[in-house]
Structures are given as C-alpha cells and as structure tokens.
Structure 1
Amino acid sequence: MLITFHPNYQITQSILEKLYKIDQIKEQVKDMPLTPHVLAGLKETSRIITTHYSTVIEGNRLTEREVREVLKGHAIQGWERDEKEVKGYFNALDEVAVLAKKHIVTETNIQTLHGLIIGKNIPTSYRTEQNSVVDAQTGTIVYMPPEAKDVGPLMTGLIEWINESTHTLPIPIVAAIAHYQFVTIHPYYDGNGRTARILTTLILHQGGYDLKGIYNLEEYYYQHLQDYYNALAVGPSHNYYIGRAEADITGWIEFFVSGMLYSFQSAQKHLQLQSAEKEQSKTINALDARQKQALVLFEKNEFITAKDVEELFHFAGRTARQLLQKWVRQSFVVIADPSKKARKYKLNKIPVFVEKIEQHKF
C-alpha cells in the first residue's frame, strides 16, 4: 500500500531570500576557473570534513586529523568501531558521486548507501521491529517512529514524492523535506541520521547544487547541534502517529536553507581567498630581483621616495630615480605625488601589473 506523503510547510519570505542567494552563489562558483588538481584537492578535503562531522554528530570520537589518518590506511588501536564508521561514510560519499549522475532516487540507492554507511557492501533491508530514539542521559523516549509494518509503504511514498517534487519545487526544499521525512520514518535500527544527511547530499548533487563538490552541510549542523535537533523535533507528541506526520516543518526548512546558505558562502569565500593567493603568488613570481626586494618598503609604508630606494640598494640619487622611472613604465609603481622635490610612489594594483607582464609591454 502506498502511503501518500503531503508535507506541511510554508515558503516564507526569509526562505525565498536565502534560496535566491544560494542560487546566486551557485552560478558564480560555476564560472570560477579551477585547475583539475586544485579541484580534486578541494573535493577531497570537503569529503573528509563531511565524513568527520556527520559521524561525530552520532558520537564518533575521532578528530579530523585522525579521520585523515584512518582514510590513509592507518589504524588507531582500540577505536575500531569509530574507524569503521568513518570508512563506511567515506565509501558512501564515493557512491553518491556515482548516483548523482542519475536523475532519480530509488529505494535501492538508499539501501545501498545505508549498507555502506554501516560497513556492508550490499543494500540493507528496513527494520522489522519497533525502534525508538532514546535520550542517552535520561533514558527517556525522545521519539517513537512508525511501526515496522508501515516503514516500507512510507519509504515508497517518500521516494515517489522526491522524484515528482524535483520537477515542481526548488531542489533545496526537496532535500530539506526528504531529510526530515527520512528521520521521521526512521527505517533502520542504526545509521538513520547519517543516511538522512547523505540522502540530502545525493538530492542536492543530482539537482545541480553540488557546488563542484567543495561544500558540506554537516559542519554547520555540528556547530548548531541543539538547533539541528530542535528543528527536527516538531509535532505535539514524540509518537509518530500523534501529529508528527502532519506537523508544520517550516522551521526545519528555514534552518536547513540557512545552513545551506552558510555553507555555500563559506565555500565561495574559500575559493575567492585561494584565487587571491594564487594571483598574489603569480605576481610575485613575475617580479625581478630588485622589485621583490622593494616590496619590503611597502610592507611598512604606503608611499616611498627615491631616498628610500637609495638606502635600500645603496644607490646614488640619480640611479634610484632612474629605477623608479623604469618601474613606473612597467606599472610596478605609480606616482602618488608628482612634486619634483618630494615625489612619492605607491605600489600599483596587482592585476594591472600582471597584465603588463603577460603582454610584454615594458
């Protein structure tokens, strides 16, 4: 029996504004030039960070540095369970990269991802008995999911809804609701949170919101962990059958798109910084020996004079002035004060100088 899924939410003005900014960044990053080598490095770093935070949310004890070591093949004695979780999630991210090339999500996709997450290489079946989410400190039931007999129909309904909604709703909204509904169904005894987050990644990547594979949402969740839990914990009761399915999840969607915007902005800033560093390195490499030495003068002062160049290189006054005139022609420096007695120079803008070098105009 197919259980129809009808999520209850509102697309507020705040959500719309965040979606607009997310799309802006997506288009801007799409056009940013990245060499294959740099892009591969950024993707790898993102996958490691994603793995670390998605597992640490569930209690994994490994630090980010230790996660890197484990993924290189190094063992951490006594922490085999943590190592297994990290390796499993990382392998599932590899599978996402393959599945993202397809246009639909299937139950087999989800079962395969869950299998990898818990350390198996085969699709896993849904639970056959009742489970519950329990507060680790108090032992009280935080959430009572649907009965096992309803899991299959609920998952079938969710998958059908995802594939239909990707044609009618913004992809981030589809991903947010899918995340919520998956943890609501809680189809497995273990690994539901990790699988929900990786399902989110799959939907976003399939829908063109991969951002070259260089961002992650999991770090934001970890940094706002209580808000993450609170946003997911909606409805009048902890019991699935008492209001959970009909609950208004606008607050969760707001939290989700806020995290997505933050993650996109962070990735964009990282790319911009890297681009600036690359440009700076390119410029410095293009300088001749004396120009590189002269940069020391500009570290302390915005403007320099011929006297400063004389002292730096132990030149005569005329030689210093001639060198500065050459630097002006090369666009290395520009005249800031044309006064003959106290002429001042400042460092030119980097792009102008690089363009001059590349065009051999000096």
Structure 2
Amino acid sequence: MYQPRFQYTHTIVKSLMAIEKYKITVEMLPLPKDIEKELRNEAKLKMTHYSTRIEGNPLDLEEVSQAIIKHRDRQGLKAEQEVRNYWNALSFLSASKRLKIQISENFIKRLHSIIEVRGSGRRNEESEYRGPMRPGVLFAVYDSITGEPEYIPPEANDVPQLMKDFVTWINSDYARELPTPVRAGIAAYQLLTIHPFYDGNGRTARALATYILSIDGYDLKGFNSMEEYYVSDLQGYYTKLQMGLPVLYYNGRNNPSDLAPWLEYFVLTMERAFRKVARIAESKYKQQIDPRVKRLEPRELIVIKLLLGKSGDITPKEIAEEFKVVPRTVTEWAKEWMEKGIIEPASGTERIRAYKLGRQFSDLTLSDLGYADTDQQ
C-alpha cells in the first residue's frame, strides 16, 4: 500500500490550528439562505475559473460566468466547454457528497470523464488510464517556455497498481486518522504524481482534494475556494509540487522522504482561503442583524439560539452537550455570559442549576440571529 512520508512542522501545525478556528467561526455564524446561496455560487464560480486558469484557460471570471449561464453542452469554444465541464464536475461532487459516495478508482475515473468531455457525441461514463506511448514518444509534463520535460511520470504499465494502492491508502484507517487538510493535500499530490490520465490530471487532483475536504466538513458550507490563491502564485504552486525532486518519477518521486514542503504550502493556502471566507461571513452576518447581536461571540450566539429553541430554561449539562465539553467548562463560560447580561440564573444563586435568557436579550427571535424560523425545531 502507498505510505506517504512526512513530518509535522511548526508551520503545518500552526496552519491546522488556524483552519479549525476559521472553520468553527463560519459554522457558528447563521446567515440568511439567500446569502448562503450567493456565497456558494460565487465560490463555485471561482473554483471553476481558477482551476481551469491554472491549466491555461484564457477566459476571465465574467466570461466563465457567461459560458456557464449559456450552458450549451459541448458546444462553442473549447475554453467555454472546459469551464462548463469543471462546473459540472463540482456539481457531481456535491451530489456524491449527498449520496455519501466513497472514493474509489471508478469514482476518480468518473470525475475525470466529466472534466475531460470533448466535442459532441456520447459521453464516456468513466475515463481509462493512459496507455503506452508509441515508440520514440516520451509522455512527460513539459515546460511551456523551454519545452524541456519538467516531470516524467511513471510508465503506463505501472499506473493501474499505483492507483489501486493510492485508493487503498485514501480509505485506510491510517489516512482517516490524519487531519483532513493533510489527507487532502497528500491525495492531491499523489494523484498528480501518478498522472494516471493523458490530460486533466491537475484539475482532477484539485477536484479530488475538494471532495475530501467537503465530505469531512471542511468546505465551509460550500463558501471555500483555494484555487484563486494558486493562480496568484503559480510559480510557488509548481515549485512546491516539484519540491526540488528529480525529473524522473523513479529517481525519487516514487517515494519522497518528506512531503512537508508541499503540505506546508497546501495548508497555508487553505488557511488564507479560510480566513477570507470567515471575514466575509462575519461581514455578511453583521449586515443582517440586530445591533445587540453584532457584539456577540459565536458561542454566545449558540447559547441564545438554544434558549430561544427551548422557550425556557437550559441546564449547564445541555449547554455542555451542545459544545461537547464538560459542565465545569460551561460554568466558567457562564460567569462571563452573566456579566454581559446574556443569561441569568433561572434557579438559585449559589449553585445554579439552570439559566434563562438575560432581560436585555429576551425580545430577540431566531430570525434576529439570522436563523430561519424552521431552525427552531
């Protein structure tokens, strides 16, 4: 089985902690449904534009938007078809997430077939791995300026076993125990390294990483797009993927001693993207809400939501269960919440067994917090 090697560095750990912080922020901020839809569509459009731009697609963001709106399947310019393909691939990933589809070789082949639809005619349900090149022709990734090979992938005959080992690793207990951003970063790197298809490997690798992040709850409600950061630093993106390793796969790329340089870049890029999404979500949230609510921290919003949902008192144990902490932690948090007037004792003063909503917040409703009325159930 494929066994990636890497060491956790200070940079990786720091970025992972920041990612968790921003993830929680976005999850705890309720937004109106129309705002969420707007942010999801915007992120999907950016992912489509920038992931295809990395591979040389000339369309700008507005042209990509128009190409998708036209939705002329497999018609028009090649560049338009390419962005529609990627848009459709992201829709396929969303549907797969709802159906809880596990990653397999067939899944990756299906994903690639959507990304690489060309011309008219019947679609292939699944792509095939690349085969041997004709004598005298080298399959390689070439420098667009010098024309020299930047990377010579493994031979076609080795691809099926490499992909089998790769997918086995993705679904292994070892891989699932890794932080999701690390697992996604390794998956993107390894698929690009194997280069199982003639074309579309970069887009497929980025889409696969997106799916891994999404199914584990790291898509920030669908608001996240990392690809724009790769485009802003394409040389850095390619340099980190290369990691100074030899051009030939069999000379060291088949088993790098440490993937940390790439993983540092991947999670740092993810941190930057998550920070931006968190700030946008906070801004959108503050534009929609009661001035009193703007001053509240994410945890405080959740507590008020719980109290409004119960239409009465709430115990420290119930709060602890919501945040997955021990009741003693809630007791400490409650001291600050009472000072702010968010909650008041509902029973007793020395040994508080329940809390109720503070008077200055007692007239709030779920809609004031940004939740739909149906969220109260």
TM range (shorter): 0.7 to 0.9
Shift of 1:241: 0.3
Q: Is contact 1:71-1:87 (8 Å) kept? A: yes
Q: Which residue of 2 aligns with 1:150?
A: 158
> Structure 1 residue 223 and structure 2 residue 232: aligned?
yes
Aligned length: 284
Q: Is contact 2:5-2:259 (8 Å) kept? A: yes
> Structure 1 residue 140 and structure 2 residue 148: aligned?
yes
Q: Which residue of 2 aligns with 1:116?
A: 114
SS in 2 for 1:190: coil
Taking the TM superposition and a 5 Å limit, the aligned residue runs for 1:281-320 are: none
**Counterpart Cα distance in 2 of 1:20 and 1:233:** 26
> Structure 1 residue 162 and structure 2 residue 160: aligned?
no
**Counterpart Cα distance in 1 of 2:21 and 2:101:** 23
**Counterpart Cα distance in 2 of 1:84 and 1:282:** 48
Q: Is contact 1:215-1:264 (8 Å) kept? A: yes
Q: Is contact 2:22-2:275 (8 Å) kept? A: yes
Q: Which residue of 1 aligns with 2:102?
A: 104
1:187 maps to which of 181, 187, 196: 196
Q: Is contact 1:166-1:207 (8 Å) kept? A: no
Q: Is contact 1:234-1:244 (8 Å) kept? A: no
**Counterpart Cα distance in 2 of 1:180 and 1:245:** 12
2:287 is matched by which residue type in structure 1? Answer: E
Q: 1:184 to 1:116 in 2, by over 3 A?
A: same
**Counterpart Cα distance in 2 of 1:281 and 1:22:** 28
**Counterpart Cα distance in 1 of 2:362 and 2:250:** 70
Q: Which residue of 2 aligns with 1:49?
A: 46
> Structure 1 residue 15 and structure 2 residue 18: aligned?
no
1:204 is matched by which residue type in structure 2? Answer: L
1:202 maps to which of 211, 214, 217: 211
Q: Is contact 1:112-1:122 (8 Å) kept? A: yes
SS in 2 for 1:208: coil
1:192 is matched by which residue type in structure 2? Answer: N
Shift of 1:236: 3.8
Q: TM-score, normalised by structure 2?
A: 0.71
Question: 1:41-79: CA deviations, max 9, x gaps?
Answer: 11111100000000011000100001111111077xx97
SS in 2 for 1:122: coil
Identical-pair percentage: 38
Q: Which has the higher contact order (CA 8 A, sep 6+)?
A: 2
Q: Is contact 1:118-1:191 (8 Å) kept? A: yes
Question: 1:249-272: CA deviations, max 9, x gaps?
Answer: 210000000010001000010111
Q: Which residue of 2 aligns with 1:271?
A: 281
Q: Which residue of 1 aligns with 2:136?
A: none
Shift of 1:36: 2.1
Question: 1:79-132: CA deviations, max 9, x gaps?
Answer: 711001100000000011122242631111111111110124521011012521
> Structure 1 residue 244 and structure 2 residue 241: aligned?
no
Question: 1:255-306: CA deviations, max 9, x gaps?
Answer: 00001000100001011111222238999xxxxxxxxxxxxxxxxxxxxxxx
Taking the TM superposition and a 5 Å limit, the aligned residue runs for 1:347-362 are: none
SS in 2 for 1:142: strand
- Structure 2 unaligned regions, length at least 5: 118-122, 134-138, 294-359, 366-377
Shift of 1:355: 6.6
Shift of 1:246: 2.1
Q: Which residue of 1 aligns with 2:128?
A: 125
**Counterpart Cα distance in 1 of 2:101 and 2:17:** 23
Taking the TM superposition and a 5 Å limit, the aligned residue runs for 1:85-96 are: 85-96=82-93
1:186 is matched by which residue type in structure 2? Answer: H
**Counterpart Cα distance in 1 of 2:132 and 2:43:** 36
Q: Is contact 2:27-2:221 (8 Å) kept? A: yes
**Counterpart Cα distance in 1 of 2:198 and 2:52:** 16
Q: Which residue of 2 aligns with 1:255?
A: 265
1:34 is matched by which residue type in structure 2? Answer: L
**Counterpart Cα distance in 2 of 1:281 and 1:82:** 47
Q: Is contact 1:103-1:206 (8 Å) kept? A: no
2:47 is matched by which residue type in structure 1? Answer: T
**Counterpart Cα distance in 1 of 2:175 and 2:4:** 14
Structure 1 runs of 4+ aligned residues shifted over 4 Å read 280-283, 354-359
SS in 2 for 1:59: coil
SS in 1 for 2:247: coil
- Structure 1 unaligned regions, length at least 5: 284-353
Range that drifts further, 188-197 or 99-108: 99-108
Q: Which residue of 2 aligns with 1:177?
A: 186
**Counterpart Cα distance in 1 of 2:169 and 2:32:** 38
Q: Is contact 2:64-2:83 (8 Å) kept? A: yes
**Counterpart Cα distance in 1 of 2:95 and 2:363:** 43
1:54 is matched by which residue type in structure 2? Answer: S
